[in-house]
Structure 1
Amino acid sequence: MLKSLYSRFALYTFTVMLISSLLSFEIANIYYHFQLKEKNDAKIMATLKRAEAYKDAQHSQNLDRYLALLGDLNYQVVAYDEQGHATYYGEPFRKQNLTPADIQRVKSGKDYHGIGERPFNPVITGFFDNETRNTVGTHFATSNGNVAVFIRPDIGHAFGEFRIFLLVLLVLLVLFSIALVTWSTYALVKPVKQLKHATERLMAGDFATPIAVTRRDELGVLQQHFDTMRLELKQLDDMRQHFVQNVSHEIKTPLTHIHHLLTQLQQEHTTSQQSRYIERIYDETHRLSQLVRQLLLLSELDNDTHLQFDDTFLANDCILDILKHENYAIDQKNQVLLYDLEAVTIRGNARLIAQAFENVIRNAIKYTETFGTIEIDLTAEDDQMILKVQDDGPGMNDSVKQRIFERFYKSSSHTDSNGLGLAISKSIIERHGGRIEVESEMNHGTTFTITLPRVEASQPAQS
């Protein structure tokens, strides 16, 4: 989940909101404890003293009437008579925890300041703690003796409707915060995702698709710089392609002449040593010619505007032609070839697809040991053609598998390869809407799997 920048940013934002809320509560709690608690205690005590003074001024001994009046004025009241019996007025307390010593002290004429003397609690604000210890108290003289009276504001009753308002406000605040954070996170992460997709296109060699500049902030500047880099890479890639194409064309002609000259020299009367030299030169020029041919094919694939992909043919016939052509190489190494080819019709560029198949099959022949086995299976599944080429060669490790389709990549065990064959096959297959995959383990052989779209067998085919 947290691998996504979007989820990370949203999580960090909500974490900041939560921490800010907790810190705000704690600061407010500290402020109440050190600044407001004593004032609140004094204010409530003054209210209780005014009630006592009013009672004395009226020369009335009916204490119950005044305490009931305080209860009606949103106060919680508890009165303890001489026998210690408690009488409650207003809303009941959630917790009764006054000690007999506190009650007796008030009866003896000392005021009780439970609100002002309440210890600090970082979890809950003392203002909302609904218990008898969180009160102020004084004594009232009556005909039946001294009565200890303790009161505190009835927060729940006084703020009942306002509390509902605050709850609705808090719920709406949370919902709107979540919606706005989600939207703002998406708006911020969207250009980053666009740059991510653009980077993936560049990694795949797509330098033509422009990068839209959608913002005017730092991310917009990054988008603009990234698009400038794309244009420069495109220019370098075009220069590389033109250079490879031009050099390949320039080399192709003299190589052809050298081949003709070597053919003529082979027909002349030469010594055995001269014949060996001529044969080695012929092999090297042939290898160089193959490299030039593959470079020209890569250049053709990179500039495929003139390529045609409308040939309809049987893939099994194409593979049989390749096997006939490679039969000599297989016999030279005494290899066992097992194949099962289902009749499958595909559409595309027949010349290029044949080249892709040939590169993969030649690769299997090349790296299969003498007396080794090569298996080729061609099947049709749903709307796809699946070709599997399996050998029992030395296999590849993970680092080689990850780079096997790169241009000019050669592992240490493949020093006689030019590193272009599989890259060409991958490019051809992908341009036909297919894919090529490799499975390999060291000392357990290699399997190449080519998947291509197929067409109905009823459509006309040409071999």
Structure 2
Amino acid sequence: MSLYVKFIWFTFATMLVSSSIAFFGMNAYYHSHLKEQNNDKNLAIALSFADFLDDASSDRAKATLTMLGDAGYQLYVTNGETTESYGGEYRDKSIAQSDIQQVLDGQVFNGIRDFPRETFVTGFFANELKNTVGVPIKLGGETYALFMRPDIKLLFQELHLLFGGLAVGIILLSFIGMLIVARLLIQPITKLTQATEKMGTETFDVPLAIHRKDEIGRLADQFLTMRSRIEQSTLKRKEFVHNVSHDIQSPLHTIQSYLALLQKDGIGKREKQQYTTIIQEETTRLSSLTKQLLTLASFDAEAAELVEKVDIAQQLQQTLSHLRYAFEEKELGISAQLAEGCVTGNGVLLQTVWENLLTNAIKYSEPGSSIDVQLTATAEYMILHLQDEGIGMSPTEVEHAFDRFYRADQARTRSSKGSGLGLAIVKEIIELHSGTVDISSATGEGSTVRVILPRIL
């Protein structure tokens, strides 16, 4: 069952239940408050009629009773043996003989007040002789019992039609209005549902024109924002998988090729050494890529414990020492000014940051250029500036440099055997340590990376 049908049924059920409750409440209120008042009011009118009819001539009494019947009262006159009726007819003329005798004996009959409390019959509308008031009257010197009640059909016939038509009109208009409102409410939700279902098949171009200022409008705006982010994430994920697949396939293909060459007869010792070196380099490349992927996965699984006191200067010195061969291979100059200072964090993760930053600087530096490392300390922060004289980056590349699934200048990155994950890892580790990292760069003019971490004393 759709939400639209459920809404209609719920509204209809609400109308039905509320009408039933109102009807029961109206009956209960009539029986507890209005019934006795109605009885007393009609009894007072009947007593005034009795005073007027007492000792009147027979002709005048009948004329008066006829006039009262025509004016809107149902009158029933009896002496216990004969009966006469004036005005509208009673639907049910049954009444206990003891009640008649009670009136003939000079007492009044409070039939409206004592009418049975029946839930679905409001006493005001019950056209029965028992639902009357009775008073004794004198006609021609003889005592009669006069039973009287208003002729509801005569007095309120037009009002019955008016209120009946009004009730039917209200119900129909309410139902039609409810259908329109339900349509207006459910239609945007239906569109959102359809768009969400399409997202399951990675279809993000479903038009969604919902311009409202209520909760549904805000939901639509948030949905569009979410869909845009998911679309970007999906595109980056596909690009990421493509790039990583290439980086994994390329060294594997190279390893397979050189292993096949090693199995051939007649290969010299020098060639074997060369092939073995290439296989070792490609294996190292695969190992590095796997390590970076596992590092990214660890951030998605759980945050690392940041409880160590880490000496940044010492870590940088160790990293520079480990990468010494890389500097010498490209004939790069290195200058380092390292101030003493510590931070609270995870030493292994921070070591990864310095290795990634320095490896990137070496990778994209021109042979014979230099790299400058400056670590300064303030009362609150440790600040690292890492500047190279490499190929630099364009403004677009700088903007997306830290995106996890973004890969800049693919020809350049592949030629230098990079995975495109290093800076994404750097950013996540630094932010995990409540720090910041940013890059300033220009194409052909090198890059400067700045890292700021909270210092402990």
Q: 2:32 aligns with which of 7, 31, 34?
A: 34
| Alignment check: 8 A CA contact 1:76 1:90 kept | yes
Cα 1:57–1:86 change in 2 (3 A) is: closer
Q: What is the rounded CA distance, in whole Å, between the counterparts of 1:267 and 1:156 in structure 2?
A: 117
Distance 1:200 1:191, change over 3 A: same
Match of 1:69 in 2: 67
Q: Which amino acid aligns with 1:93?
A: Y
SS in 1 for 2:113: coil
Give the corresponding residue for 1:173. 170
1:149 and 2:164 aligned: no
Deviation string, structure 1 residues 272-299 (Cα, Å, up to 9, x no partner): xxxxxxxxx9xxxxxxxxxxxxxxxxxx
Determine if the alignment matches structure 1 residue 92 to structure 2 residue 89: yes
The equivalent of 1:202 in structure 2 is: 199
- The code of the aligned residue for 2:84 comes to T
> 1:134–1:61: structure 2 CA closer, same or farther, 3 Å change rule?
same
Indicate the residue corresponding to 1:220 in structure 2: 217
* Paired position in structure 1 for 2:189: 192
Contact 1:114-1:134 at 8 Å conserved across structures = yes
1:172 Cα deviation after fit = 1.0
| Deviation of 1:55 (Å) | 2.4
Query: Structure 1 residues 58-67 or 234-243, which shifts more?
Result: 58-67
Kindly tell me: are residues 159 and 10 of structure 1, through their superposed partners in 2, closer, same or farther at Cα, counting changes over 3 Å? same
Amino acid at match of 2:71: L
Which residue pairs with 1:22 in the alignment? 20
**Equivalent of residue 52 in structure 1, options 43, 50, 55:** 50
Match for 2:247 among 238, 247, 250?
250
Q: 2:157 aligns with which of 136, 150, 160?
A: 160
Of residues 14-23 and 98-107 in structure 1, the stretch that sits farther from structure 2 once superposed is 14-23
Residues of 2 paired with 1:159 and 1:268: CA distance? 119
Q: Cα distance, 1:62 vs. partner?
A: 4.2
TM-score (norm 2): 0.55
User: Number of matched residues?
Assistant: 270
TM superposition shift of 1:57: 7.4
3-state SS of paired residue (1:116): helix
> Based on CA coordinates, which of the two structures has the bigger radius of gyration?
2
Q: Which residue of 2 aligns with 1:362?
A: none
Q: CA deviation at 1:175?
A: 0.8
The AA in structure 1 aligned to 2:192 is L
Aligned to 1:338: none
Question: Paired residue for 1:131?
Answer: 128
CA distance in 1, matches of 2:136, 2:266: 139
Distance 1:62 1:71 in 2: 14
Relative distance call for 1:114 and 1:254 in structure 2 (3 A) is same
Match of 1:120 among 106, 117, 121: 117
Unaligned runs of 5+ in 1: 271-280, 282-463
Aligned partner of 2:233 in structure 1 is 236
Counterpart AA for 1:19? V
Aligned equivalents of 2:151, 2:258: Cα separation in 1: 113
Per the TM alignment, residue 58 of structure 1 is displaced from its structure 2 partner at its CA by: 5.3
- What value does the CA root-mean-square deviation take over the aligned residues? 2.6
> In 2, are the aligned partners of 1:29 and 1:122 still within 8 Å (CA)?
yes
Instruction: State the alpha-carbon separation in 2 of the partners of residues 165 and 211 from structure 1.
Output: 47
CA distance in 2, matches of 1:73, 1:210: 71
**Structure 1, 9-18 or 62-71: larger mean CA deviation:** 62-71
Preserved contact between residue 55 and residue 61 of structure 1 (Cα < 8 Å): no
CA distance in 2, matches of 1:55, 1:208: 90
Greater shift in the superposed pair: 35-44 or 49-58: 49-58
In the TM superposition, residue 109 of structure 1 has moved relative to its aligned partner by 0.7
1:264 Cα offset (Å): 3.4
Question: Distance between the aligned counterparts of 2:149 and 2:72, measured in 1?
Answer: 9
1: CA distance between counterparts of 2:55 and 2:30? 35
Question: Which sections of structure 2, spanning at least 5 residues, go unmatched?
Answer: 268-278, 280-457
Q: Deviations over 1:324-380 (max 9, x none)?
A: xxxxxxxxxxxxxxxxxxxxxxxxxxxxxxxxxxxxxxxxxxxxxxxxxxxxxxxxx
1:275-294 superposed matches below 5 A:
none
1:222 aligns to what SS in structure 2? helix
Residue 83 of structure 2 aligns to which amino acid in structure 1? A
Aligned residue for 2:128, secondary structure, equals coil
> What's the CA shift for 1:260?
3.2
CA distance in 2, matches of 1:80, 1:22: 41
Cα offset, 1:47, TM superposition:
1.8
Identity of aligned residues (%): 36
C-alpha contact (below 8 Å) 2:54/2:137 kept by paired residues: no
- Contact 2:134 2:148 survives alignment (8 Å): yes
User: How much has 1:133 moved relative to structure 2?
Assistant: 0.4
Q: Normalised by the size of structure 1, how large is the TM-score?
A: 0.54
**1:217 aligned partner, one-letter code:** D
The answer as to whether partners of 1:80 and 1:148 remain within 8 angstroms in 2 is: yes
Which SS does the other structure have where 2:4 is aligned? helix
Q: Structure 1: how far apart are the matches of 2:211 and 2:55?
A: 79
